[in-house]
């Protein structure tokens, strides 16, 4: 049976929140877990040692990018994605569909698959469910994803329904085409913001019996007031004993909100992208270390009590200087901090669930984080008003 080498076991639950262990031939992933994104086979600015050092347990690679460059065959020849990038641990690849669809231009989606032009050279390509399986098999991650049709946030139920139906037919074709014993293929539930479609999609996709399920089509532009309840609703439709992966979600507040709603696995480029722009996570909210004048000449770390390499080694004042001076080291140090922040947050949530204190932890975290963000927003608004008056 495909993917038999990979197992998932639940250890504890509190409300909808769950703690589990994902066991793969390349290592264990305690869940809930966050996957840093190694888009082109590298988490931007970081080495595998950096990632191990900050507590990352599993990485995500983007099939779209790796397919275009260096190509699935070359990755396979170099021993697969993990070996290629020097990462001694589990990996997951997406199907490539989301980027093929979202990066454009000239995307055409038909029953056969997604026709697109390369962002690198404009050349024509086609992702079919069968090709998505073959490419991902060559790339060789532990987890591979079914090809799905994702839409941006829309209230057009007919369009969402048609994309969902196509996703279902593609899921069946992926399941058929997936022959690797060493890779676990995860199905994807679509259905947009419509509960009845989410129900229909969950019923169909779980009926195909995948070893785990992703929730797709969220965090694509809908308000949080729709995203959180839909996450809870959809997670509740999935079999309790199997892995639940919410794709493309990774802000600190979203991670807490969605662990609370029963999600086990996340990925998002946001923590590292924000870091490269000088935005650093702290328990009191996000701070902008490069522009906020309060960091100029500040001794001590960006965040007191943070055990990341950057905070243990460098002052906030130095990081401020590195960003002002556009030094490359800034990008690495900030990325390490944010990913360590997320890894610690996931660890804290696992611990809280295990001892039955998750509800209190989540409330406390969100109050602290939101308050600080609110203060920052007010502070920025005040500065804009002050400038406007000048």
Residues involved in catalysis: 94, 267
Collapsing DSSP to helix, strand or coil, 70 comes out as coil
**Can residue 81 be called a binding residue for a copy of itself (CB under 8 A)?**
no
Check residue 26 for interaction with a copy of itself (CB under 8 A).
Answer: no
Q: Is 56 in the site for a copy of itself (CB under 8 A)?
A: no
For residues 149 and 12, is the Cβ–Cβ distance under 8 A?
no
118 makes contact with a copy of itself (CB under 8 A): no
Main-chain dihedrals φ then ψ at residue 120, nearest 5 degrees? -80, -45
User: Closer CB to a copy of itself, residue 210 or residue 323?
Assistant: 323
Residue 179's SS3 state is coil
Of 5 and 78, CB closest to a copy of itself: 78
**Site size for a copy of itself (CB under 8 A):** 36
d(CA 350, CA 353): 5
Closest CA to 278 of 232, 217, 326: 326
Q: Are strands 33-35 and 265-267 parallel, antiparallel or unpaired?
A: parallel
Does 176 bind a copy of itself (CB under 8 A)? Our answer is no
Strands 243-246 and 265-267: parallel
| Shorter beta-carbon distance to a copy of itself: residue 135 or 358 | 135
Does 48 engage in binding with a copy of itself (CB under 8 A)? yes
β 27-31/17-24 pair status: antiparallel
By CB under 8 A, name the one of 117, 273, 324, 344 that touches a copy of itself.
324
Q: Figure out which of the listed residues 130, 253, 288, 327 binds a copy of itself, where binding follows CB under 8 A.
A: 327
Residue among 108 and 312 whose Cβ is closer to a copy of itself: 312
Q: Does 322 bind a copy of itself (CB under 8 A)?
A: yes
**Closest distance to a copy of itself from the beta carbon of 340 (Å):** 15
Residue 69 binds a copy of itself (CB under 8 A): yes
Site for a copy of itself in 259-298 (CB under 8 A): 296-297
Q: Which residue in the set 12, 78, 109, 232 belongs to the binding site for a copy of itself (CB under 8 A)?
A: 78
Q: Which of 45, 205, 289, 308 binds a copy of itself (CB under 8 A)?
A: 45
Query: Binding segment for a copy of itself among 83-91, 210-218, 256-264, 363-371 (CB under 8 A)?
Result: 83-91
- What's 251's DSSP letter? -
- What are the b/e assignments for 212-224, b being 16+ CB within 10 Å? bbbbbbbbbebee
Beta strand pairing call for 143-145 and 265-267:
unpaired
Could you give the 3-state DSSP secondary structure of residue 29? strand
- How far apart are CB 35 and a copy of itself at their closest, in Å? 18
Residue 154 or residue 315: which is nearer to a copy of itself going by CB?
A: 315
Residue for token digits 């901090």? 337
Alpha helices in the chain (DSSP H): 48-53, 63-68, 72-77, 81-84, 97-102, 129-139, 157-177, 195-207, 224-235, 252-259, 270-276, 309-313, 316-324, 328-354, 358-389
| Residues that bind a copy of itself in the complex, under the rule CB under 8 A | 40-42, 44-49, 65, 69-70, 74, 77-78, 84-86, 296-297, 299, 313-315, 317-318, 321-322, 324-325, 327-329, 331-333
């Amino acid at each position: 049976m495909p993917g038999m080498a990979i197992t998932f076991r639940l250890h504890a639950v509190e409300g909808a929140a769950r703690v589990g262990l994902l066991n793969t031939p390349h290592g264990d992933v305690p869940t809930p877990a966050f996957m840093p994104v190694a888009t082109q086979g590298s988490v931007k600015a970081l080495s595998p040692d950096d990632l191990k050092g900050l507590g990352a347990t599993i990485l995500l690679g983007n099939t779209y990018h790796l397919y275009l460059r260096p190509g699935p065959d070359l990755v396979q020849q170099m021993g697969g994605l993990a070996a290629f990038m020097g990462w001694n641990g589990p990996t997951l690849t997406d199907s490539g569909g989301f980027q093929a669809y979202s990066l454009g231009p000239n995307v055409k989606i038909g029953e056969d698959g997604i026709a697109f032009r390369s962002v690198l050279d404009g050349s024509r390509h086609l992702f079919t469910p069968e090709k998505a399986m073959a490419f991902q098999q060559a790339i060789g991650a532990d987890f591979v994803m079914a090809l799905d049709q994702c839409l941006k946030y829309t209230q057009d139920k007919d369009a969402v329904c048609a994309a969902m139906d196509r996703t279902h037919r593609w899921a069946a074709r992926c399941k058929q085409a997936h022959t690797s014993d060493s890779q676990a293929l995860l199905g994807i539930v679509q259905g947009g913001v419509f509960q009845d479609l989410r129900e229909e999609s969950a019923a169909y996709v779980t009926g195909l019996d995948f070893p785990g399920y992703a929730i797709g089509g969220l965090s694509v532009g809908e308000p949080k007031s729709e995203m959180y309840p839909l996450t809870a609703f959809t997670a509740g439709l999935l079999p309790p004993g199997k892995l639940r992966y919410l794709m493309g979600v990774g802000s600190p507040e979203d991670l807490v909100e969605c662990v609370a709603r029963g999600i086990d696995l996340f990925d998002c480029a946001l923590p590292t992208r924000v870091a490269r722009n000088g935005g650093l996570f702290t328990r009191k909210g996000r701070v902008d270390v490069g522009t906020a004048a309060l960091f100029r000449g500040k001794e001590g770390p960006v965040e007191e009590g943070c055990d990341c390499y950057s905070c243990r080694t460098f002052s906030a004042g130095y990081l401020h200087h590195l960003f002002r001076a556009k030094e490359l080291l800034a990008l690495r140090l900030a990325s390490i901090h944010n990913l360590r922040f997320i890894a610690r947050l996931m660890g804290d949530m696992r611990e809280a669930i295990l001892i039955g204190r998750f509800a209190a932890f989540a409330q406390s975290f969100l109050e602290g984080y939101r308050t600080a963000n609110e203060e920052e927003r007010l502070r920025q608004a005040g500065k804009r008003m002050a400038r406007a008056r000048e």
